[in-house]
Every structure is written in structure tokens, then in C-alpha cells.
Amino acid sequence: MTAGKRWVLARRPDGVPCTDDFRLEDTTLPGLQDGQALIRVDHISVDPGMRSRLSGDSYAPALDIGATIESAGVGHVIASRSQKLKEGALVWGGFGWQTHLITDGRGVQALDPALYTGKITPTSAIGLFGIPGLTAFFGLLEIGKPRAGNTVLVSSAAGTVGATAGQIAKMKGCTVVGITGSDAKCAYLKEIGFDASINHRTCGDLAAAFRAAAPKGYDIYFDNVGGEMLDAAIVNMRRHGRLVISGQIAEYNAREPRGIRHTLPFITQRLRMEGLVVYDHAVQFDEARRQMAEWVNEGKLTWREEIIEGIEKAPEAFIGLFRGDSFGRRLVRVA
């Protein structure tokens, strides 16, 4: 018997989530059966994309009321009756917002000790080497198709997805402009090699600010935001420009979808807009991780983490994402 805690969905959020939409429960985990392992969760993630699961939409099935909030996590196997997961192993998976879980091993993977050494910490398994970094990698390379000399615009550029996409674009010989929400984040973008940055809270008209940063326009827009920002990018695209739809945080809490106003430039400028779900590239994940690890060890790729202490803070940490509070990959330390 193991005592733990977990956050469950108390009610469906209406618009931006609030803390009352979540409830912290005490849990008691039974003893292990054959084939099972007990995981102590060390860190969990908070992700804007998880928002749609809280209310459900035509695409994402809704999480049940009372169900554990879903998220990525890293942890340790602290007891095992499983062949696959040995006691002491460092593991990651879709653990959810909880301190402990019993698993039969499905969806749980041991971290490769050869990869997670030196600069590459276990928490990066749910950051740069997890869904955010992989989304940047495949979104930029497979949909954006950067070529040397291209100009690339990235939104939410100080987040792990945006910062990774921008740094990879730099390695491919592109000029990279990042959009973010504070002067500190703009300074960070310069530090990691972005050519220019735009603070969307102070720049005034977005389309004009995008134009000022790259008067000849953009070949690629890597979008994590949607709505007005996407619209302002569309009118600044060059011929045959590619729009990578990686995230749409402006849409997640909208009671009515907002969308974009400009579709004519798709014809006049021959634009292509394409969305991705990174799991479609799952068979290439290990290859991508090896490539990114090489870049990290060569000092060409960096990332930033922001650790919030205590599972009690998970809802606040999540809600803050929609205010742009986070700076880098936001994780919650559980144990």
C-alpha cells in the first residue's frame, strides 16, 4: 500500500481554466501484481495543448470528470514485479499529475543511459527530447523545409518548441526572427542565436512589426499561437512560403474559434499551411533524439527549463501558460 496524491478534473473549464476546475485527491495504491511496477513521479509537465482534453472538441475526446489530469512525466521505478521495468530504472511516459502510479509497462519507457548523460538531464526527456523538441524538429524540417538563405519567423519563440525550431533553422543557414512576450525573453532569443526578436506585447501592430523585422518577408512561419498572430504572419509571407501549424494557443480557450481573415495570399503568394501531430513521426523519434543530442553536445542547441516546486502548484503552473508567464519548458517537481 502506497499513499500518494493526484490532481483530477473537477469540472470542465469554460474559457481560460481556473484552479476550481481541478481537485487534489489522496490516493492509496495497492500492492503490485505480477508484471506490474510502481513508479514514483519526479517531474511532470504542463502543456497548453492539453487544454482541449479538458473540455473535449470534435477531435480530442474529453477527459472524464474525476480522471487524473494527463501530462508527460519522468520518474523512477521504486518497486517492480515486471521483467521490463527494473527497480531503480529512470523512466518516462504519460504519467499525469500524480505522485505515484502502478503500470503494466505500456506507454512507459526506460531512459537510455547513453543519451541522458552530461548536459542532457532526465527532465529533458519531457522537454527537448520529448514532445516539444520533437515537434520542433519534425515540424521545421518536414513541413517547413528550411533552405539556406530562408527567413524564418517563430512564435512563442522562448518556449522549448519555438526556441528549438529557431536554433535548428539557424543551423540550416536561415535568418531567424522570434516573437515572444517580454524583453527578458527577447534578450534570451539573442543569446541563443536568433537574429532578431519581437516583443508582441509592446510592438504595436503585429503585421507592421513583422514587416519591419524582415521587409522582404518570410519563407517559413513556425506557429505555436494561431489567431491574430498567424494572420499577421500570412500577410508577410514570401512566395511559396510554408506555414507550420505546430500549436494554436490562442484557440485553446476560445469559446468560439477565432481563425484567420486572410486567405487570398494563399493564392497570390502560393502559400502552403500544414499542421502536424508529432506522434505520426514516432518511428523516427530515436533518430531525431540522437541528432539533437549531438547538437547539444556540440553546443549548437540549448534549452531552458523552469521548475515549479510541488505538485500542489500544478494547476497554477498550467493556467499561467495562457498568460505567457512561463519562460522555457515549465515543469513541476513532484518528488
Type and span of the H or E element at 315: helix 314-321
Measuring CA to CA, which residue among 171, 177, 174, 145 is closest to residue 158? 177
Cβ(335)–Cβ(41) under 8 Å?
yes
Residue type, 193: G
Interface residue with its own copies among 83, 117, 263, 297 (CB under 8 A) is 263
CA distance linking residue 257 with residue 5, whole number of Å: 35
Element (H, E) at 91: strand 90-93
Rg (Cα) of the chain, in Å, rounded? Answer: 20
Q: Does 150 bind its own copies (CB under 8 A)?
A: no
Site string for its own copies, 298-327 (x = CB under 8 A): ------------------------------
Does residue 55 interact with its own copies by CB under 8 A? Answer: no
Q: How many residues bind its own copies (CB under 8 A)?
A: 38
Residue pair 253/322 in contact by the 8 Å Cβ criterion: yes
CB of 218 to its own copies, least distance (A): 15
Of 110 and 235, the one with the shorter C-beta distance to its own copies is 235
By CB under 8 A, tell whether 246 contacts its own copies. yes
Report if residue 61 touches its own copies, rule: CB under 8 A.
Answer: no
Candidate residues 149, 270, 294, 306; the one interacting with its own copies per rule CB under 8 A: 270
Strands 2-9 and 22-29 turn out to be antiparallel
Residue 266 touching its own copies (CB under 8 A): yes
Residue 303, class by beta-carbon neighbours within 10 Å (0-12 exposed, 13-18 middle, 19+ buried)?
A: buried
d(CA 177, CA 189): 9
Of 63-71, 161-169, 254-262, 312-320: span binding its own copies (CB under 8 A): 254-262
122 counts as binding its own copies under rule CB under 8 A? no
142 contributes a contact to its own copies by CB under 8 A: no
Given 27, 253, 269, 291, the residue binding its own copies (CB under 8 A) = 269
* Gap between the Cα atoms of 255 and 258, Å rounded: 9
Q: Which helix (H) or strand (E) holds 229?
A: helix 227-234
> Closer CB to its own copies, residue 147 or residue 240?
240
User: Of 68-76, 177-185, 256-264, 326-334, which segment contacts its own copies by CB under 8 A?
Assistant: 256-264
**Which of 272, 250, 277 shows the shortest CA–CA distance to 134?**
277
Of 2-10, 67-75, 222-230, 307-315: span binding its own copies (CB under 8 A): 222-230
The least CB distance from residue 190 to its own copies, in Å, is 29
Binding site residues, its own copies, CB under 8 A: 52, 57-60, 226-227, 230-231, 235, 245-248, 251, 256-277, 280
